[in-house]
Structure 1
Amino acid sequence: MELKRNIYQELTNWSKKKNKKPLILKGARQVGKSFVIEHFAKHNNINIHKINFQSQKDAFYIFDGNQDANTILTKIEYFLDTSIDIDNDLLFFDEIQEYPKAINSLKFLQEEKPELKVIAAGSYLGIMKNQESFPVGKVEYLSMFPLTFEEFLQAIDKKLYDFYNTIDVDNMKVIDTFFHQKLLDKFYLYLAIGGMPEVVLSFIEHVKDNSLYETLNIVRKKQEQLLESYKSDFSKHAGIVNSSHILNVFEAISIQLSKADYEETNKFKFTGVIPNQKGYDRIVGPLTWLSKARLAIQSFIISDTKQPLKAEVQKNKFKVFMHDIGLLNAELSTPIHSLLNIKSSLGSYKGYIIENFIACELFSITDKHLFTWTRGKSEIEFIFEKKTHLIPIEAKSSDKSRKAKSLLSFIKRYNPTYAYKFTAQNYGNKNGFETIPLYLIGKIFKERKY
């Protein structure tokens, strides 16, 4: 089965450029980069020529020596026993980090064959560490993430997705109670499964012949396998010594989140993360590695809203979230039945799950670090920059009405044009902010006209 991804449109826009640069597709491992490129070519009737540098190491010889684009393409044609149509075909270098000289060849292809569509994918860290061979200014980037809730919904329930598409976020009103509950059910299911393509496909495959709980137990095993593959991959690009520190920091993310207070996560604490080492300076390297590998999402804590928000950042004050909500719950061994009945089963621990979900959705939109606002006892989980607007986002897991004290405090101080409380409640608009169902967060920020 094919998963429809929003990135297809961005690939189409890139492919239509006259003087395009080779495209490097960024993303954590296992988010489906290779799958997307091949299916993009298939559905657009583009002839694709692929070299996988991990499985086809004899292709290394193609790029040895000083050579121009014509020579490189001639060797590729011979190697693949094919002919490349410069104006129409796609050249795809997969796992390109395995051979630095192939990375360097992107420079010559851009300068001499700008009409040729060239895409490279692989470990972003592996690509970037080859600084001597990296073609600075000769490539462009496109980021890829795990499936968002919207993409997940489209994959598992097309009819409900069609209704979801009819929701007009510029003219919001109370959503039909029947569909609101159905969308919440799928949202809770997404918290258990997450957006890793292999995991989503496993769910779709097995749910046909098994009960929901049996299927989710199969899915959990797939998630655990993915986590193990990440951890075993740390040493490949970071070295044996550093990999142990990276593992410590990676595992600390979920542990610290699970120790959160009722409805808000805490600042990331440095003490005890790496044995016998204290302070920000000791964890900044491994954390930066995880952030660049797109396995960690940072939200920097600020106390004012002067733009640019980056100017308000103190580098050692931040929260950290995992890149996929399903993997977070697998890492913590969160009981699957609790996720499907999150309103009553998880008690005081469900807040951090909702907050991590929102972090993933926002990161897939911005592709940048996030921001959290605190002042005194008030905290706004996220501040979202949209054009000239700074939009406060309060996240609540409950479907019961609660006073949004922090949000009201922020509104009184800054008087924002937009202010949102995302919750399991249906839509509402009063006291200067909108209450919006959690499943609409991606739609609100992508489709609403600001």
Structure 2
Amino acid sequence: MQRSRIKKLIEWKEKETRKPLLIDGARQTGKTYLLQSLFGEQFDNVLRIDFLESPEMADAFSGSLTPEDILSNIELLTNETFNPTTDLLILDEIGECQRAVTSLKYFAEKAPEMYIAASGSNIGLLNSFPVGKVEQHNLRPLTFYEFLLASGEAALIKAFETEANSAPAHTKLFDKLTDYYFTGGMPEAVSTWFELKNKSILDRVEAVENIHANLISGYLRDFGKYSGKVDAGLIESVFRNAPSQLASVIDESVKRFKFKGVHERKSRYGDFESAITWLDKCRLILKNYPTEGTPRSPLAAYQKENKVKLFLFDVGLLNHMLAIGYKEIKQQGFEYKGYIAENFVQQEFAAQGIDPTFSWGDARAEIEFIATDDQGQIIPIEVKSGKRTRAKSLQSYITKCQPNKTIKLTGTQGSTALEKENIVLPLYYAQYAVSHHLKSSR
């Protein structure tokens, strides 16, 4: 299974000196696989210790935190040798050992030539963190492009990479997109889906649904284990309500997360702030902030924490939590519910580094996303899940805000490459809305 993030890790390796690498991300997004199986191929040897599986390894960090002493202790505890000039050291689930987290500062200052990588699912919850002493990356679930790579279908991958704009390419890519809506991007679900491609569709669907169920159960257990001073029940209430609120208005957008009725005797943002922050730090939700009026850069100036829309971090888990099955997803095809398309676009944008996102609305219109391009211009991005692309809200935005460029992500084939102002892209090319039309330097 290929991950696009590997390119950044190889760039890190090729530097003359480097800060320790830190891979953050929700549990089960493939952090260990990325470091050990994919990135590990770049090294003569990989020495990995997992503080969750082997808590006794914390003893290696109990005394001196100089790199030489730590490596000596690790060699003694593992009975393995480590060559600092050629080998990669992986400190997995580093959040389980605060002293190991602190040691990253000393690796950065005293041994910048070494290859030290760490990963964890609760990095955002740490009490102390070596700010400025690590190169941090957030690993999201697989994007749609990575999902295609996992399929091994060379012709379809080529069509995506070349942004093919033909009827056959559109039919095939949209069909794969609805498969992705079902499986989502969690590595175990994706790998199982394609490993069982010669089995019946019922077997494939059941296997992925079981994986989704186990993942959700695992996250719910984590709430109690890692919630700390935050009410675990409150975290669960917000987590469960994010999908149901997105789905509460069929084929229309929900403007923001509503707090009333989410948890007993709590109805204001202040009651839920700690739980929302916890879920955000653990990468289990994605935030979108609604704006009004004529937006200008920086969009963060319009951000109001008590008015926020919450998406789930994975569209496959979103559908599972809503009990939407594969058959229903495929039957609705091009007319699939708008909130699923929105959640998908939110994921693709987050994977491209746009997090949080922003939206726009007035009394009668709403634009699902607005974003700033490299020139500081605000670009409206409307999401239409079906073939009907008439966009009254977008026209309203154009009248009020007069943007230089507009983008629509739809269930259609899209406009030609010659169109530079009113761009229409098929939903499956959502990542190109960022890389080609917002980040011109990429």
Provide TM-score, normalisation by structure 2.
0.94
Distance 1:178 1:135 in 2: 51
Q: Match for 1:207: what amino acid?
A: K
- Say which of 162, 165, 175 aligns to 1:185: 175
Q: Name the counterpart of 1:382.
A: 369
Q: Name the counterpart of 1:398.
A: 386
Q: Match for 2:126: what amino acid?
A: K
Distance 1:343 1:138 in 2: 47
Distance 1:130 1:373 in 2: 35
Instruction: Indicate if the aligned counterparts of 1:41 and 1:48 stay in contact, CA closer than 8 A.
Output: no
Instruction: Indicate if the aligned counterparts of 1:264 and 1:351 stay in contact, CA closer than 8 A.
Output: yes
Q: Tell whether 2:417 aligns with 1:419.
A: no
Q: Residue 344 and residue 146 in structure 1: after superposition, are their counterparts in 2 closer, same or farther (change >3 A)?
A: closer
Instruction: Indicate if the aligned counterparts of 1:31 and 1:145 stay in contact, CA closer than 8 A.
Output: yes
Q: CA deviation at 1:345?
A: 7.4
Equivalence map 1:170-209=2 (5 Å): 175-208=165-198
Q: Name the counterpart of 1:336.
A: 326
Q: Per-residue displacement from partner, 1:147-179 (whole Å, max 9, x unpaired)?
A: 0001101111332111211227xxxxxx21111
- Say which of 154, 160, 174 aligns to 2:156: 160
Q: Match for 2:142: what amino acid?
A: L
Q: Residue 384 and residue 367 in structure 1: after superposition, are their counterparts in 2 closer, same or farther (change >3 A)?
A: closer
Equivalence map 1:49-448=2 (5 Å): 49-125=47-123, 128-131=125-128, 134-156=129-151, 157-167=153-163, 175-208=165-198, 210-239=199-228, 242-303=231-292, 304-343=294-333, 350-388=337-375, 389-400=377-388, 402-428=389-415, 433-447=422-436
Instruction: Indicate if the aligned counterparts of 1:53 and 1:93 stay in contact, CA closer than 8 A.
Output: yes
Q: CA deviation at 1:124?
A: 2.8
- What is the DSSP-based 3-state SS (H/G/I as helix, E as strand, rest coil) of the residue aligned with 1:120? strand
Instruction: Indicate if the aligned counterparts of 1:41 and 1:90 stay in contact, CA closer than 8 A.
Output: no
Q: Match for 2:48: what amino acid?
A: K
Instruction: Indicate if the aligned counterparts of 1:254 and 1:328 stay in contact, CA closer than 8 A.
Output: yes
Instruction: Indicate if the aligned counterparts of 1:231 and 1:247 stay in contact, CA closer than 8 A.
Output: yes
The range that moved more, 222-231 or 61-70, is 61-70
Instruction: Indicate if the aligned counterparts of 2:178 and 2:333 stay in contact, CA closer than 8 A.
Output: no
Q: CA deviation at 1:28?
A: 0.6
Q: CA deviation at 1:221?
A: 1.4
Percent of paired sites with the same residue = 33
Aligned length: 434
Q: Per-residue displacement from partner, 1:316-362 (whole Å, max 9, x unpaired)?
A: 1121100000000001110211111223775xxx0111111111111
Q: Match for 1:163: what amino acid?
A: A
Instruction: Indicate if the aligned counterparts of 1:263 and 1:396 stay in contact, CA closer than 8 A.
Output: no
Distance 2:72 2:289 in 1: 49
Instruction: Indicate if the aligned counterparts of 2:40 and 2:88 stay in contact, CA closer than 8 A.
Output: no
The range that moved more, 39-48 or 276-285, is 39-48
Instruction: Indicate if the aligned counterparts of 1:343 and 1:397 stay in contact, CA closer than 8 A.
Output: no
Q: Name the counterpart of 1:171.
A: none
Q: CA deviation at 1:447?
A: 4.2
The range that moved more, 20-29 or 153-162, is 153-162
Instruction: Indicate if the aligned counterparts of 2:360 and 2:366 stay in contact, CA closer than 8 A.
Output: yes
- What is the DSSP-based 3-state SS (H/G/I as helix, E as strand, rest coil) of the residue aligned with 1:18? coil
CA RMSD of aligned residues (A): 1.9
Q: CA deviation at 1:240?
A: 8.1
Instruction: Indicate if the aligned counterparts of 2:407 and 2:425 stay in contact, CA closer than 8 A.
Output: yes
Instruction: Indicate if the aligned counterparts of 2:288 and 2:356 stay in contact, CA closer than 8 A.
Output: yes
Provide TM-score, normalisation by structure 1.
0.92
Q: CA deviation at 1:40?
A: 2.8
Unaligned stretches of 5+ residues in structure 1: 169-174
Q: Match for 1:395: what amino acid?
A: V
Q: CA deviation at 1:94?
A: 0.4
The range that moved more, 146-155 or 49-58, is 49-58
